[in-house]
Amino acid sequence: MVLHGDFQTLALPTLLKIVTGSKKTGVLTLVKENEEKALYFKEGEIVSAYSKEDDNLLAQILLKKGKITEEQLSSALGFQNETGLPIAKIFMSMGILKDESVVNELKSITEKLVYHLFHWHDAKFSFVEVEIPEEDYVHFSIDTTDLITKTIEKIEEWEEMKTVLPDKNIVLHKREDEPRVYRFPPSVNQILNLIDGQRTVGEVCASYPEKEYTVLRMLSRFVEQGLLEKMISVKLETQSIRDEN
């Protein structure tokens, strides 16, 4: 089976349901302007994914978590330039990472990739039914039907969050008159410590690129609960003055 088209005539959720429902094995390539991403299917389930941007993100996440060193990353990138292989496959072949470490990060990145693709409205696609070479990709398995459902729910929740935080240039600060006392997990406190009345929402999220959605959801809920308040961004004011001049 070969499918060609664009999202104007066949939306991504419908396309994924076709591939999943017919339990196809093959490669779905999606192109928008200069971006190209690929999802690999085996019997209707996503078993691998690739895009240059997400390949780089995986490397940076593993580096930040201390699972690889700068020297190991440099060596892997050099080998990637020579071979063109996905960075995760190179990490495994070099013995840098165990399979489980790579797979968990790849699954998370792939779920975010699909979420990102749901926001593409003018992309072109091509699905080719073909066997996937086991030696070329790090394989995992994602229930595509469940992923579609969760992604749609996530998009709906994202729209709700945007009503609270419509712009990442918004600056938040903690209410000084808040009488309630809360005990949060260390991971939450680390994020709250970045709320200083100076950093924008975007700058706070940039400290946790692999958890942007989670950070935004937490901040929006704290704003709704009155623990955080929105301020006028100094950066926005400066930009507005420059625009007017």
Average pLDDT, the chain: 82
Whether pLDDT at 37 is above 60: yes
Structural domain contains residue 157: no
Residue 203: its H or E element = helix 201-206
pLDDT tier, 98 (very low <50, low <70, confident <90, very high otherwise): low
Give yes or no: residues 46 and 112 share one domain: yes
pLDDT value for 242? 33
H or E segment at 39? strand 35-42
Beta-carbon contacts of 46 under 8 Å, excluding residues fewer than 6 positions away, are: 39, 40, 110, 114, 141, 142, 144, 147
Residues 105 and 127 in one domain: yes
Do 117 and 8 fall within a single domain?
yes
- Which CATH number fits the domain that encloses residue 185? 3.90.930
pLDDT at 244: 33
How many independent structural domains does the chain possess? 2
CA separation for the pair 39, 173 (Å, rounded):
41
**Same-domain pairing of 25 and 136:** yes
Q: How confident is the model at residue 52 (pLDDT cuts 50, 70, 90)?
A: confident
Position 241 pLDDT exceeds 50 = no
Same domain? For 68 and 147 the reply is yes
Same domain, 20 and 112: yes
Residue 240 has pLDDT above 60, yes or no: no
Same domain, 145 and 180: no
Global pTM value: 0.68
Which parts of 112-193 are beta strand (E)?
Answer: 124-129, 171-174
Select the more confidently predicted residue: 3 or 67.
3
Question: Considering the domain boundaries, does residue 160 fall inside one?
Answer: no
- On whether residue 111 sits in a domain, the answer given is yes
Q: Is residue 73 part of a domain?
A: yes
User: The domain containing residue 114 runs over which residues?
Assistant: 2-152
